[in-house]
Amino acid sequence: MSEILAVKQGIIESIKKAATEAQQAGKLPSVPLPDISIERPQKAEHGDYASSLPLKLARATSLNPLNIAKSIVSFMPKSEEIAEVSVAPPGFINFRLSTGWLTKQVDNILEQQKSYGNITKGNGKQIQIEFVSANPTGPLHIGHGRGAVLGSTLANVLDAAGFKVQKEYYINDSGNQIVSFYRSLYSRYQQCLGIDTEMPAEGYFGSYVTDLARELIDEHGDQFLKMPREEAESKLGKLGLEKMLLKIKESLEALRVNYDCWFSESSLYENGQYDKVMAMLKQSGYIAEKESATWFVSTALGEHKDNVVVRSDGTPTYFATDIAYHYNKFITRGFDTVIDIWGADHQGHVSRMEAVVGALGIDPKRLKVIISQMITLKRGGELVKLSKRSGDMISLAEVIEEVGVDACRFFFLCRSADSQMDFDMELAKKESQDNPVYYIQYAYARIASIFRLAEEKGIKYDDGDVSLLKEESELTLIRSMLQLPEIIEMIANTLEPHHLTYYAQELATIFHSFYKQCRVVTDDVDMTKARLKLVASAGIVLDKTLGLMGMSAPEKM
RNA sequence: GCGCUUGUAGCUCAACUGGAUAGAGCGCAGCCCUGCGGAGGCUGAGGUCGUGGGUUCAAAUCCCACCAAGCGCGCCA
């Protein structure tokens, strides 16, 4: 367990103990105590942590909250970590950490190195996170990029929080869209070989399909023309699909996103899982035949309408396979928690998915669906829709290439998932002070630069005495570093990784301010060593934070 | 029409999930280099938290109504 979380827990327990003792001593009426929590006050003068318990007890005890606070505080045990416990109107109890304990945490961070910030909350529980999962019928676009960054960052954080995380991409490799893609590709293939033919009406008209057809001609020639149409479509299509998938993987890798598992939709049919799950639903009475189709009776579970699982032509819908897929996640593979990240256009799918998970006998709370809102691409305030080069929707790969990975990741991450966002490529590219990406990385580069100087001067600081750190800006820096475990805990609870970007900026700001106020390498050998320790620990925390966001920590810029 | 999400400083967004005087960045007005990287630091101005009710000791946060925007409401995925 992280030191700071242990201290926090200790404070909570001491409040509980003090309140109970106050009650036993007759200083406080014996009313039931609510769940005690402490929070971080927004003003530094209010200390490091605060409890509003007295305010919550005011009504039940019909006492002045300030007096309740005083009674509780008088029973508060002393501890090494806490320097001061005070009472503030209208009825808060404020706690201030001792500087001795604070400075010791510098050594603690140095010991823990890269594992600093990690917590044990997850206890090795298995959690699966599925994200992007775009149809392999075309290149990824910017919206997928947002989901990719969201998912991979969340996976990093959950891993740091002690969960066993598995990242997965669901490949929709069967169904209507695939058939349509196969047909489109075959038409383009024929056209490229001089055959006058038409594209299917519901086809994929992007120029990338033609590019794909040309690549396949280069590699395989015109052999598919000699086959019966159906065979040609299928064989050529499969090759095209593989290529498309490869391009998708490349785009994701360029964004520093990788997966533990690429799960094929069609495997659900091949291994009989689909049939099994449908039979289960039928047996429990959630399946009905009407209008010559097969329906999942979601209205029985409070939904507004039923949903088709098998069309009247006998083919299963996307929803049907998704049911089997989630059965596979929860039952076959036994994940404790499953996180799905979907785009806003899938929002209507959420409630029926939760309903069907419940119908399969799985607690729907174990399924967490994150909807990431739409993202619009801009360039200097102007809306960008099409790529100048291909005329298609601008691809994720193009955006990454133009803007750079670090900036892409940061900007995709910095808004909460449920707020729509504009992604301005000009702004993201601008390597100036109005770009927080460089501001944060610059803090790290400054740290690296300090160590280059220290090394040049041959300074060793292993025996530095951190208790010399007493300046306000030094202690503020330590306090900021101590927040990382709490941030990780919060994100693991809320599944909102955008908080990391704000934390990173705040940590960088506090470091820059410290840097201005306290010169590190000076003639004062002892102070130099102590500050080198402080700076080293700041480097660890900054590196860890950037790492969680999938960003690089450059030694030089 | 129904459902989900959003509405906070001139702009883009936070607000530890109900707490203290609502905070950052950009922009704006100023100030700071005989020192480790000025891609920096420090001040300041700027708010009826969409509107109106309600719950609470306490509401940007919870509930209701309304207004506005995005997405969805297919035997598409």
Q: pLDDT tens, A72-101?
A: 999 999 899 999 999 998 899 999 999 999
**pLDDT mean over A328-338:** 97
Q: Which domain-ending residue is among A254, A283, A314?
A: A254
Strands A421-424 and A164-171 turn out to be unpaired
Within this chain, do residues A236 and A319 fall inside the same structural domain, yes or no? Answer: no
Asked whether residue A250 falls in the same domain as residue A269, the answer is: no
Is A384 contained in some domain?
A: no
Query: Percent of chain A, pLDDT > 90?
Result: 83
Dihedral-angle region of residue A272 (phi above 0 means left; psi in -120 to 50 means alpha; beta otherwise): left
CA dist., res. A402 & res. A393, Å (int): 15
Count of domains for chain A: 4
Nearest C-alpha neighbor of A480 from the set A505, A448, A445: A505
Residues A438 and A537 in one domain: yes
A316 lies in the same domain as A269: yes
Over residues A212-235, the mean pLDDT reads 95
The ipTM assigned to this model is: 0.95
Nearest-angstrom CA–CA distance, A431 and A63: 58
- A196 belongs to a structural domain: yes
With cut-offs at 50, 70 and 90, classify the pLDDT of residue A164.
very high
The pLDDT of residue A511 is: 96
Q: Is A145 in contact with A412 (CB distance < 8 Å)?
A: yes
Whether A379 is covered by a domain: the verdict is no
How do strand A375-379 and strand A421-424 relate by DSSP bridges? parallel
- Same domain, yes or no, for A520 and A457? yes
Give the CATH number of the domain where residue A92 resides: 3.30.1360.70
Q: Which of A254, A282, A299 is the last residue of a domain?
A: A254
Same domain, yes or no, for A47 and A90? yes
Q: What is the mean pLDDT of residues A62-71?
A: 90
Residue A179 CB lies within 7 Å of the nucleic strand B: no
CA neighbor of A441 nearest in space, from A410, A414, A415: A410
Within 7 Å of a protein beta carbon, the nucleotides of strand B are 2-7, 12-17, 19-27, 35-42, 56-58, 70-77
- How does pLDDT run across A171-182, given as a tens digit for each residue? 999 988 999 999
Please report where in the chains the tokens 């899982």 appear, as a residue. A273
- Residue A105 forms part of a structural domain: no
Which is more confidently placed, A164 or A390? A164
User: Is A297 found in the same domain as A362?
Assistant: yes
Q: State whether the beta carbon of A556 lies below 7 angstroms from any atom of strand B.
A: yes
Among A46, A65, A97, which residue terminates a domain? A97
Q: Could you tell me the residue range of the domain that residue A504 belongs to?
A: 433-548
Give yes or no: residues A290 and A330 share one domain: yes
Q: Which positions 444-463 on chain A have a beta carbon less than 7 angstroms from any atom of strand B?
A: 445-446, 448-450, 452-453
What is chain A's length?
A: 557
